[in-house]
Amino acid sequence: MWGALAFGAVYSWAYWPLAATCILFGTAGVVGTRQVDLAATSRAFAAALLTVFGAIVAQLVPLPVGTVALVSPHTIELLRELNPAFAAGSIANHTLSVWPRDSSTGLVLYGALALLCVGMTRLFSAWGCRRFVEGLTAFAVVLALVGIVQRSSSAEAIYGIWKLEPGRFPFGPFVNRNHYAGWMVMALPLTLALLIAGIDRGMRGVKQGWRHRVLWFSSAEASQLILIAAAAVVMALSLVMTMSRSGITAFALSVAMTGWFAVRTVRSRTRRVVAAACLGLLFVLVLAWTGPTLVANRFATADWGEFNNRKGAWLDAWSVVRDFPLTGTGLNTYWAPALFYQRHELDYFFGQAHNDYLQLAAEGGLMLIVPALACVVFLVRDIRAAMIGQEEPTTRWLRLGAVTALVAIGFQETVEFSLQMPGNAALFAVVCAIALHRPGFVTTERKRWAAATRFAVSAFDSRPLQETG
């Protein structure tokens, strides 16, 4: 909530408290669930996260200038342009990072988020994640309403008080509408998964016949599903209202993936039809409310040949990758080489590559790319392992929702940099935890409480324990 409401936590007064909170909850998750089987968070994945941390630390180790020149000759050239003292020859040692202060900030934020991911994975494994997703959905509705009201009032200042420089396109509390779309792209699939899980679970006991199905809508469970569906509509509406082409496309992708999972997972034909109808109605309703012509014009006006001025930024970023192939320029320092490598699109300064994969390669080189790829491989492996076996339907659907969210945000990152916003990155870490968690691994303490509860029930009931439940 803090990461989203505090302008995406892009300012230092917002991301330092966010980092401290992530460390607090991550540590609580690791220490408080020490009895959870380590299979809930594989050693290989944790080791890969730690290796990435070590690679960033290596970028911050002071080295003799001769060693830096040997490992990365273009780093010396860039440092001469950035640092007059270095150009004068008064600095004998320097880090591989061209701007160590920013890389240090990136190191702390990465460490906090990695710890949050591991800790929340263990917490969700011990206690489940359904309540968390329900709370996230409730907050997402509030966030969406903030964005819708601000968009409808044509307010140029966030919250009506925080004015931005000309040329910015804020939405809700986010400085950039694409970054708001990125946050919602991760939250919305979890809400849709919660909705489909409720349909799959709630309609199982309904008798055949339209009369019983209509009567089911008067039940408390059906009322809860209607609220979740309404929340999904509000969230999706705010996402489309951003007019973010990448966000709208990622939204369409997430709806399609959720529908595909519903067809493959829901066994009952009736429930499959209801789930598909809900998803289709959601998509049509949101587009109709926003205006199909408005959305179509937004896509039609884009310069697809240049990917809306992004192609030049990508070519410039690739030039940085070629000149810093081994060690990169340092995490969180792309703005520095961009000052000198921007050649194609000169109307605006591109402090980001508008493709986080290219930017990671430019900032980290092979030293950071290899462990990052290892993280992705072990993440996919562990998620796949978590899906194998029998698990409660709601847990399975929330995991599928998290997978959908990861794919959707991964798609958006090909043209944006939403995950560079610390508030979005915190949500990303938690979504990874939802995809990874293993509810089958419970703490010894919970087993003791369960045994004590069964003993207390049997003490006050003369029937056999099996009958008392």
Radius of gyration, CA atoms only, the chain: 25
Per-residue model confidence as pLDDT tens digits over 399-410: 999 999 999 999
pLDDT bucket at 392, cuts 50 / 70 / 90: confident
Which of 112, 141, 355 shows the shortest CA–CA distance to 238?
Answer: 141
Task: Say how far residue 288 (Cα) sits from the centre of its chain.
Answer: 28
Rounded to an integer, the average pLDDT of 131-138 is 96
| pLDDT at residue 158, as a whole number | 86
Cα(6)–Cα(11) distance, rounded to whole angstroms? 8
pLDDT bucket at 464, cuts 50 / 70 / 90: very low
| pLDDT above 90: residue 191 | yes
Rounded to an integer, the average pLDDT of 198-215 is 66
Tokens of 267: 């066994």
Which of 315, 352, 349 shows the shortest CA–CA distance to 332?
Answer: 352
Rounded to an integer, the average pLDDT of 112-123 is 95
Please state the φ and ψ torsions of residue 163, each to the nearest 5 degrees.
-85, 140
| pLDDT above 90: residue 201 | no
Rounded to an integer, the average pLDDT of 358-371 is 97
∠ CA 202-208-209, nearest 5°, is 110
Per-residue model confidence as pLDDT tens digits over 409-430: 999 999 999 999 999 999 999 9
pLDDT averaged over every residue in the chain: 88
Rounded to an integer, the average pLDDT of 429-439 is 94
Say what angle helices 422-436 and 12-32 make with each other, to 10 degrees.
Answer: 20
pLDDT bucket at 169, cuts 50 / 70 / 90: confident
pLDDT bucket at 42, cuts 50 / 70 / 90: confident
Specify burial of residue 107 (Cβ count, 10 A radius: 0-12, 13-18, 19+).
buried
| pLDDT above 50: residue 45 | yes
| pLDDT at residue 455, as a whole number | 43
Cα(298)–Cα(247) distance, rounded to whole angstroms? 12
Higher local confidence (pLDDT), 127 or 116: 116
| pLDDT above 50: residue 22 | yes
In 10 A of CB 77, how many CB atoms? 13
**E strands, 207-310, where?**
none
| pLDDT at residue 1, as a whole number | 94
Helix (H) or strand (E) holding 94: strand 93-94
Say what angle helices 245-265 and 393-412 make with each other, to 10 degrees.
Answer: 150
pLDDT bucket at 333, cuts 50 / 70 / 90: very high
| pLDDT at residue 12, as a whole number | 95
Contact (Cβ atoms closer than 8 angstroms) between residue 93 and residue 360:
no
Cα(344)–Cα(420) distance, rounded to whole angstroms? 23
Please state the φ and ψ torsions of residue 83, each to the nearest 5 degrees.
-125, 105
| pLDDT above 50: residue 189 | yes
Cα(167)–Cα(175) distance, rounded to whole angstroms? 11
Amino acid at 250: A
| pLDDT at residue 453, as a whole number | 44
Rounded to an integer, the average pLDDT of 353-358 is 95
∠ CA 194-200-201, nearest 5°, is 85
pLDDT bucket at 329, cuts 50 / 70 / 90: very high
pLDDT bucket at 70, cuts 50 / 70 / 90: very high
| Residue linked to tokens 């060693």 | 67
Contact (Cβ atoms closer than 8 angstroms) between residue 145 and residue 137:
no
Higher local confidence (pLDDT), 17 or 448: 17
| pLDDT at residue 224, as a whole number | 87
Cα(450)–Cα(456) distance, rounded to whole angstroms? 10
Cα(12)–Cα(99) distance, rounded to whole angstroms? 17
Cα(220)–Cα(23) distance, rounded to whole angstroms? 38
* Claim: this prediction has a pTM higher than 0.95: no
Cα(370)–Cα(405) distance, rounded to whole angstroms? 24
Percent of the chain topping pLDDT 70: 87
Per-residue model confidence as pLDDT tens digits over 253-292: 999 999 999 988 887 887 888 899 999 999 999 999 999 9
The answer for residues whose C-beta is within 8 angstroms of residue 389's C-beta and 6 or more apart is 440
Cα(3)–Cα(236) distance, rounded to whole angstroms? 20
| pLDDT above 90: residue 296 | yes
Helix (H) or strand (E) holding 170: none
The answer for residues whose C-beta is within 8 angstroms of residue 105's C-beta and 6 or more apart is 332
| pLDDT at residue 94, as a whole number | 95
pLDDT bucket at 373, cuts 50 / 70 / 90: very high
Cα(442)–Cα(437) distance, rounded to whole angstroms? 11
| pLDDT at residue 308, as a whole number | 76
